[in-house]
Amino acid sequence: MNVKSNLKTPLHAEHLARHARMAPFAGWDMPIQYTSIVTEHQQTRQQATVFDISHMGEFDISGPTAEQDLDRLLTQRIATLANGQCRYGYLLNEAGGVIDDLTCYRRADDRFYLVVNAANRAAAADWIKAHCQSRTIFADVSDQTAKIDIQGPAARALMEEALGCALPDLNYFRATDWTYDGVSSWLSRTGYTGEWGYEWYLPTEAAVTCWQRLLAPGALQPAGLGARDTLRLEMGYPLHGHELQPDRSPVAVAGSAFMHLDKPFIGRDQVQRVLDQGPDQQLLGLRLESRRAARAGDTVWREGTQIGTVTSGSYAPSVGVAIALAYIDTAHAQPNSACTIEVRGQHLPATLTKPPFYKEGTARAT
């Protein structure tokens, strides 16, 4: 018998103690919800919540040639990254498809920190190692790293109150080394919810204590991957495996955004070709008229012709109706035009929309 058990984050027992509903995600046994997805979603938008995101992968890449190697591997500009700054971009294959989407931080002149999707950790590690020079040192530090996201407009105040100390001032997409109660951590003003907040990277052995302290006063409640997904969908953020794929060009998702075309990088020529010719399809939002949701794989129609396919869809608690992301044939990809989505044999009316669906996100607030 060959039973493959799911991996557990350092906070797994905390989730079970709270009777979270657990489900497999990218090979991990993860909390989907603690109370309800809608409640946790609203708490994040209105106040703040805490997520266990320890399943994601972290790579520490250093050495005299690290900057040069990463600039050639990643679509975002690495040479001009300041210490403590991060940029989001893609790791492309030779065909210009997306192996993973990731953020890259500079932690020192010759040291970088990459945060990758759990499902792509092995593929990204293999690809990066295969394309680094011998003096670049690659370390997959995922197993030693816990990641706790504190997201929501009140994240800073509630986190400071719960931990009993002041947090460093950080602008959006900036991070810093931060010693909390003797624990060396990496605190980043980023997230995947559209709200103001932090992604907090800390040693696995400190995770339980920090998690418990954050939640002890009761003002911060935990939120699961269910709410994380509805929050990101309302912002139109792509999710690898749904919107981003190894056999799809990122040009179809966001045009030339997150790519610095004035430098050589793997997949650059393929990206340029798609930009020059125009992509066959483009990722767009769909706003439905009721709460009835379309799901990944449902087809999009206009006047008897299929014009696209849904990649993600759900009821959107902060929008009040169901929304979706879909690849739409470029000839039909005009925002504010009407279409239908076939859901279990019925055609539901929808409007093509340029995301974000939710426009009051506080992520960039100062």
Q: Which is nearer to other proteins, 32 or 118 (CB)?
A: 32
In which order are the strands placed within the sheet that holds 137-140? 86-92, 98-108, 111-116, 57-62, 137-140
Q: Which of 129, 135, 273, 291 is the binder for other proteins (CB under 8 A)?
A: 291
38 binds other proteins (CB under 8 A): yes
Distance CA 316, CA 46 (A): 15
**Phi then psi dihedrals of residue 275, to 5 deg:** -65, -40
Q: Which is nearer to other proteins, 14 or 298 (CB)?
A: 298
184 binds other proteins (CB under 8 A): no
Angle at 141 between CA 137 and CA 146, to 5 degrees: 155
Tell me the window of 33-41, 49-57, 139-147, 186-194 that interacts with other proteins (CB under 8 A): 33-41
314 binds other proteins (CB under 8 A): yes
Contact between residue 242 and residue 120 where contact means Cβ atoms under 8 Å apart: no
Residue 202 parent element (H or E): strand 197-203
Q: Which residue has the tokens 């990463």?
A: 70
In this structure, which amino acid lies at residue 60? D
42 binds other proteins (CB under 8 A): no
Q: Is 179 exposed, middle or buried (0-12, 13-18, 19+ CB in 10 A)?
A: exposed
CB 36 → other proteins: shortest distance, Å? 5
Tell me the window of 28-36, 47-55, 71-79, 84-92 that interacts with other proteins (CB under 8 A): 28-36
CB 232 → other proteins: shortest distance, Å? 13
Tell me the window of 36-44, 130-138, 182-190, 207-215 that interacts with other proteins (CB under 8 A): 36-44
CB 22 → other proteins: shortest distance, Å? 13
Tell me the window of 2-10, 37-45, 64-72, 122-130 that interacts with other proteins (CB under 8 A): 37-45
Binding-site size for other proteins (CB under 8 A) equals 19
CB 63 → other proteins: shortest distance, Å? 44
Angle at 99 between CA 93 and CA 105, to 5 degrees: 105
Give residues 327-366 in contact with other proteins (rule: CB under 8 A).
344
CB 211 → other proteins: shortest distance, Å? 23
18 binds other proteins (CB under 8 A): no
- Within 8 A by CB and 6+ apart from 143, the residues are 204
3-state secondary structure of 281: strand
Q: Which of 104, 220, 293, 328 is the binder for other proteins (CB under 8 A)?
A: 293
232 binds other proteins (CB under 8 A): no
3-state SS, one letter per residue, for 150-200:
EECCCHHHHHHHHHCCCCCCCCCCEEEEEEECCEEEEEECCCCCCCCEEEE
Q: Which of 290, 305, 306, 334 is the binder for other proteins (CB under 8 A)?
A: 290
Residue 205 parent element (H or E): helix 204-215
Q: Which of 105, 315, 357, 358 is the binder for other proteins (CB under 8 A)?
A: 315
DSSP secondary structure letters along 1-52: ----PPB--TTHHHHHHTTPEEEEETTEEEEEESS-HHHHHHHHHHS-EEEE
Q: Which of 292, 296, 301, 330 is the binder for other proteins (CB under 8 A)?
A: 292
36 binds other proteins (CB under 8 A): yes
Where does this chain bind other proteins (CB under 8 A)?
21, 32-33, 36-39, 226, 230, 290-293, 295, 314-315, 317, 322, 344
